[in-house]
Amino acid sequence: MKRIIFFNDTGFPYAALAAAIRSGTLPAHRPPKPGELEQVLACTGLGRGDASVYNLGQNEQDEICLALWSRGNGDMVRRIIMSFLAIMHIDNYELVHIKCRKNLLATVGVFIAGIPGLLNVGLPLVRRHVVNIYRELNQK
């Protein structure tokens, strides 16, 4: 079964969102509703960027959509993924680098959402940013 590995190195889970869109967890034809976005972000977290691998489900073509993201070191992350899978003789995968940049809205949203009790203030800011870049994420 083919795996699609989405990754980015901006410290924001763009890769998780792109993987969720590809797997059908998030809608492809319209921006996500607050509840839908929260559901995905509840599974993956918002700003950790420790390169943990998340499984965002399987799409209609039976492709498993994986996501990971880091803070910086995108070139090294790409080489680790490719060389590890190469030494394990695995080639049935596709690697997708998400190149969206984090803006002030996302940074502030993530910061506020991280403060205990202010999740409901931060998440709308994050959602606003996600809606702005949703078309770009959907094309990946």
Partner 1 sequence: MKIIYHCFGGTHSSVTAAAYHLGMLPSECTLKEEDLLAIPFFDTRDNHDHGNITLMGIDGKDNEIYIVGQRGCPQLLENIIHGLAQEFDISPQHYKLVNVLDKVNFSMRLGGFMSRRFKWIYPGRPLVTRGTIRAFTNIINLVRRVKAGERR
Q: Could you tell me if 130 and 117 are in contact, meaning their C-beta atoms sit under 8 angstroms apart? A: no
Q: Is 136 in the site for partner 1 (CB under 8 A)?
A: no
Answer for which of 15, 81, 125, 137 binds partner 1 (CB under 8 A) is 81
3-state secondary structure of 47: coil
- Which is closer to partner 1, CB of 12 or CB of 134? 12
Q: Does 51 bind partner 1 (CB under 8 A)?
A: yes
**5, containing H or E segment:** strand 3-8
Our finding on whether 99 is near partner 1 (CB under 8 A) is no
Q: Does 88 bind partner 1 (CB under 8 A)?
A: yes
104 exposed, middle or buried (CB, 10 Å; 0-12, 13-18, 19+)?
A: exposed
> How many chain residues touch partner 1 (CB under 8 A)?
26
The continuous run of DSSP H or E covering 80 comes out as: helix 74-87
Q: Which residues pair with 69 in a beta bridge?
A: 8
User: Quick one: tokens of 63?
Assistant: 């492709």
CA separation for the pair 140, 95 (Å, rounded): 11
Eight-state DSSP code of residue 70: B
CB-wise, 5 or 130, nearer to partner 1?
A: 5
Give 29 or 89: the residue with its C-beta nearer to partner 1: 89
User: For residues 54 and 134, which CB has a smaller minimum distance to partner 1 in the complex?
Assistant: 54
Shortest reach from residue 139's CB to partner 1, in Å: 24
Question: What is the contact surface with partner 1 in residues (CB under 8 A)?
Answer: 3, 5, 50-53, 55, 64, 66, 68, 70, 73, 75-81, 83-85, 87-88, 90, 93
